Chain A
Amino acid sequence: MGVVEEWENRVGTVQMLQSTGAMEAAAEPTELIAAAAGGDLRAFEHLYRQFSPRVYGLCLRLTGQREAAEDCTQDSFVAAWRALAGFEQRSRFSTWLHRIAVHSVLARRRGLRVDYEVPEPATGLPDRADPASDGPPLDLERAIAALPDGARHVLVLVGLYGFSHAEAAHALGVAEGTCKAQLHRARSLLTAALGLERS
């Protein structure tokens, strides 16, 4: 049985792990990684199927724009394919891939700054549709997208996708102290924007 066929038999298990949020505990697809590193495009497609939802989610939250996230996801997997032969498995494949995704987002943003700007109110906070109403606050996704870039990036990496401050600081090219300060800022802005009690 080939590597790909063997992996297809595990799809049910992978889907179950994804649905229960236990994906991080799933076995590393070392055989698929090795096959893809050897030039097996079909094996790489299976890696794409497994990991692209997390990468796309990460890119979507970092950019705040669907089209930009699609471009960054494609850039990430193209870059991963080209660099796969040098992947030494000292970190998890997902960790390595997410670092590539962050790099793709930041690289694109530097080149296409105007396209990646998220509309931002003067205060850095989204306005409530009707402050007097008892209705639900603005959608959390929208509030995150409206955060200033620096705060949003740190919140997405550390608060959502499990990067340590050191990893996020390294990926974003900022000091670790800056990273912690940006996270605090992001949380404060979100708390105010969503009308939450400060803890």
Chain B
Amino acid sequence: MNHPTEKSLDELLADLPRDVVPPRHLWRGISVRLNPPRRSRPLAYAMAAGIAGACMASALTWAVLHERAAAPAAPLTARAANFDESRNPRYVAARDDLEVNFRERLALLDPATRARIEASLAVIRRAHEEIRKALASDPASPVLEQLWQSTWHDELDLYDHVVRATQPAMTRT
């Protein structure tokens, strides 16, 4: 085995690796700098309105259902926070199951309440679709990515509220 001091300077220099793997976060920083948000003002306003609408829809639904439930439901968002599962097949399957459950429970509610919940869900889905379109043209935007996930959480929250809020009513009947 060669001791380092037995090598010449040229040999030592030749042994140095020229490539050094950079930290993984570097590309993310570069992509953000290359692709800053370029949304037009009307789209930005539309998205802001969509998000605000989704939040209002969630709040309204919660208020409506809160009157029916003895105790407020724990938001599913708390469990889903920082959880990028919207593209995970297992997550999507679980979400679909929850939606089926939601539809079953929704059918048990009176028509006026059901209409308000359906309207809230429509607002959330419109916001979701607007953000999806914006993401298609600006896929590296972390802000849009965060908004995309938040609308998933809003929809799940709505399902969760309905399922939980109708649970006592079902057991009473």
Contacts and interface: CB of A to CB of B under 8 A. Distances in A.
User: Interface on chain A toward B: helix, strand, loop, or mixed SS?
Assistant: helix
A196 interface: yes
Nearest to A155: B13
Interface in B28-51: 29-31, 33-35
A78 B30 contact: yes
B111 interface: no
Interface string B1-36: 001110111001100111111110011011101110
B98 interface: no
A53 B20 contact: yes
A70 B29 CA distance: 10
A53 B119 CA distance: 52
Interface string A45-82: 10011001110111010000000001001100110010
B140 interface: yes
Contact of A160 (B16, B33, B140): B16
Given A18-B19, A41-B140, A161-B18, A48 B27 contact: yes
Nearest to B4: A136
B1 to A, nearest CB: 12
Contact of B19 (A41, A54, A140): A54
Interface string B83-114: 00000000000000000000000000000000
A160 B15 CA distance: 10
A171 interface: no
Interface stretch (A4-12, A85-93, A109-117, A186-194): A186-194
Nearest to A195: B5
Contacts of A77: 30
A141 B18 contact: no
Contacts of A45: 27, 31
A59 to B, nearest CB: 9
Interface residues of A, number: 34
Nearest to B15: A140
B35 A41 contact: yes
Contact of A140 (B3, B13, B22, B30): B13
Given A41-B34, A41-B140, A45-B27, A57 B9 contact: no
B31 A41 contact: yes
Nearest to A19: B19
Given A53-B19, A57-B17, A57-B19, A194 B12 contact: yes
Contact of A78 (B5, B17, B20, B33): B33
A196 B9 CA distance: 7
A124 interface: no
B27 A196 contact: no
Contacts of A49: 27
Contacts of A137: 4-5
The 9 closest A-B pairs by CB, nearest first: A53-B19, A56-B22, A57-B20, A77-B30, A78-B33, A56-B20, A74-B30, A53-B21, A52-B22
